[in-house]
Amino acid sequence: MKINILSLLFLAISFGLQGQTNQYSISFENAEHHEAEITATFPSLNPGVLSVRMGRSSPGRYALHEFAKNVYNFKATDSKGKALDVSRPNPYQWDVSGHDGEVKISYTLFANRGDGTYAQIDETHAHLNIPATFMYVDHLSNRKIEVDFKVREDLNWRVATQMPQVLGTTYTAPNLQYFMDSPTEISNYGIRQFTVDNNGTPQNIQFVLHHNGTEAELDTYFEQVKKVVLAEMEVFGELPNYDYGTYTFLACYIPNASGDGMEHRNSTILTDKEGLAEGGMKNNIGTVAHEFFHGWNVERIRPKALEPFNFAEANMSGELWFAEGFTSYYTNFILCRAGIITPKEYVEGLTGTFNYVWNSPARQFFNPIEMSYQAPFVDAATSVDPVNRENTFISYYSYGSVLGLALDLSLRQNGLNLDDFMKLVWQTYGKKEVPYTLSDLRQTLVQYAGKEFGNGFFDSYIYKSDMPDYAALFASVGVVLKQAKGKPYFGASVNVNQFGAGIIQRNTPIGSPAYTAGLDSGDVITAINNVPLTAALSFNDIIDQFKVGDTLKVAYTRFGIPKSTTVVLTGNPAYSIQLIEKDGGKPTKQVLKNRKSWLKLD
C-alpha cells in the first residue's frame, strides 16, 4: 500500500494537538434529582501537583458565587486508572498528586437554578452555565477543550451552544476563556433563524427556545426578535463578525426557570418563569434587546478592567455605568424604534428609573464610577447582614441609563447624537477588540463632540454626581417633566397588614420626613393623629388626606416598645414624564422633527 508522506505528517500533527486537548464529558442519568456526572481528562502534564479548581465567578457577573458548594463525590486517577491522592488547600480547589503525566477526574454536580449564572438539571432540560458546571486547571487555560454532552435521548434532548460542533454531541472551544463563556442548553427545544448580510459577510442569527408553548407563539415572538436585531444593527452600522458566523439566543421560558438574562460573546441566556402566552411575549422582549446590545457593548467594546476575566475572584470595573447603563438606555429605546412599544409607552416608561436615580440620597456618597465599583456586592451577590443600599447605592444599570438619555438629548441639541458616538466607540475599540479605559471613553467623547462638551459631561456627571437639566432636554423633543410638589410626602414605604399594623418595609431615605422624625425599617405604625390604622385604607391613601406642611403625630412600636414622634409632610419629590400632547400641548414643527429623529419615527 502506498503511503502519502503529507498524510502521515497531518496525522502526526493531529495526534499531537489531541494530546494537548483537555477532554470533558457530562451525563444526566439522575436528572430527576438534579445531578450530573462529569469527567475531565488533562493529558501531557508536567510532573508535580495538579491543581483543579471550581470557578468562583462567571462572565457577565461581577460577584462571587462559589460554585464549588454544589460539587461532591470527587475522584482522581492516572492514565492507568490508579487512584491518586487528593488534598484540599481551600474550599474551591483540589490538589492531585502522584500522577503519571495524565489526570482524569470525576465528580457529581447538583444543579437546580435555571438562569444566567447557575446550572439546572432536571427531566425538562440540562441548562448549563459553564463555570457553574465544569472544573478547570488555570495554567492549562490556553489548551483546546472538547466536551461530550451525553444527552438524554429518551427525552429527545439536543445541544445548543455557541461552541462549534466536532461530531455528534461533542463540541469544542479554542481555550478556557471561550469555554467558560459558552452557556449550553440541552433540551427538546424549538429553533428559528435568519441570515443577515453584514458588509458582505453572512451572519446567522438563531433563536433557540425551550418552552411549553406552541410553534405559532415561537413564530410570532421570533418576528419581534428579528426587529430588535435589525434595529440594534442600525445603531452601530453593522453586526459584529461572530467567531463562527452565528449568534445564538438560548431562551428558557419555563415554570422551573428563574428570570434572568446574561450576555456572552456569541450568545446570550434568556430565562423566565412565564411562557409566551402568559405574558412572556411582552415582558421578555426587553431582555432580548438588552442582551443582544451587549454583543457590541461589553463583549467587544470591553472595559480593560474585565480583561482577562478572572474566574477565581470578584471582577470590578468602574465603567459599568457605560457598559451596562448605556445598554439599559438602549433597551426600551430600541423597542420603541422597532415599533414594539409606542412612543407614549417609551416616554412614560422612563418615569420609574428617573425617580429612582434622581431622588436617591446615594448621589451624595458615590458618583457613577463608584456605583460601578459596588457591582461585586450587588450583582446577584448575597449577604445575611442588613445593608443601607436605599441610601448609599444606585444601580449602575439605572444611573447609566438616565445619563445615556441625557447625553443623547444633549448631543442632539448640538446636531449630534448618541448613535454616532456609539459607532465611533465601536470603530475605535470594539471592532478592533482593544479594551478601553475610562480615560479612553472621555477622550472619544471629546473627539466626537468637542473638548468643552466632552470634558464638561465627564466632569459634571461621571466624576461628580450633578443632575443634567432634564426639563430643557425633554422640552427639545416635546416631553414634559414635572414634580408632584403639591402632593404630601411621608417618606417611608409602609404596608398596612390585616391587623391595622403599618410596617415600614425598608430603610427610610435620608432627608425624608420619616427619616428626620427618626422612623426606621421594621418600625410598626399603629396610629396617626390618634386615629388607628386600618386594613381598609392603604398607607398612601391615609397620607393623601393631609396637605404639604401638615404635622402628624405618629404612634408606633419598635422592638415591641410603644413610641411616638411627629412627622412634617413635605412636597412629593417624584417626577412625572409624559408627551406634551397628554397635557393638551402641541409641539412645534421643530420639536416634532427633533422627536421623530430621536425615536426614528416615520
Domains of the chain in sequence order: 22-186 (2.60.40.3650), 190-291 (3.30.2010.30), 319-477+581-599 (1.10.390.10), 488-573 (2.30.42.10)
Residues 292-308 pLDDT 10s: 999 999 999 999 999 99
pLDDT of residue 19: 57
pLDDT at 6 over 60: no
Within 8 A by CB and 6+ apart from 371, the residues are: 320, 321, 362, 393, 394, 395, 396, 399
Determine phi and psi for 230, rounding to 5 degrees.
-70, -35
- Strand arrangement of the beta sheet that strand 85-90 belongs to: 50-53, 93-97, 85-90
Within 8 A by CB and 6+ apart from 599, the residues are: 333, 336, 337, 343, 346
For residues 214-239, average pLDDT: 98
* Average pLDDT value for the chain: 95
- Confidence band, pLDDT 50/70/90 cuts, at residue 452: very high
pLDDT of residue 381: 85
DSSP-assigned beta bridge partners for residue 35: 110
For residues 112-125, average pLDDT: 98
For residues 44-72, average pLDDT: 97
pLDDT at 71 over 70: yes
Share of the chain above pLDDT 70, in %: 97
Residues 529-587 pLDDT 10s: 999 999 999 999 999 999 999 999 999 999 999 999 999 999 999 999 999 999 899 99
Residues 334-364 pLDDT 10s: 999 999 999 999 999 999 999 999 999 999 9
Calpha distance 98→110 (Å, rounded): 28
Residues 456-510 pLDDT 10s: 999 999 999 999 999 999 999 999 999 988 999 999 999 999 999 999 999 999 9
For residue 366 the three cell numbers come to: 458615590
Residues 393-440 pLDDT 10s: 999 999 999 999 999 999 999 999 999 999 999 999 999 999 999 999
Give the ranges where 159-214 is alpha helix by DSSP (H): 176-180
Residues 127-169 pLDDT 10s: 999 999 999 999 999 999 999 999 999 999 999 999 999 999 9
For residues 191-212, average pLDDT: 98
pLDDT of residue 485: 85
Length of the chain: 602
- Confidence band, pLDDT 50/70/90 cuts, at residue 453: very high
pLDDT of residue 484: 85
**Beta pairing, strands 201-211 & 246-253:** parallel
pLDDT at 189 over 50: yes
pLDDT of residue 382: 82
Q: Are 189 and 209 in contact (CB under 8 A)?
A: yes
**Beta pairing, strands 531-532 & 524-528:** antiparallel
pLDDT at 374 over 70: yes
Calpha distance 455→580 (Å, rounded): 32
pLDDT of residue 435: 98
Closest CA to 102 of 146, 38, 46: 46
Share of the chain above pLDDT 90, in %: 95
- Confidence band, pLDDT 50/70/90 cuts, at residue 55: very high
Closest CA to 290 of 336, 244, 240, 328: 328
Calpha distance 258→113 (Å, rounded): 7
pLDDT at 4 over 70: no
For residues 328-336, average pLDDT: 98
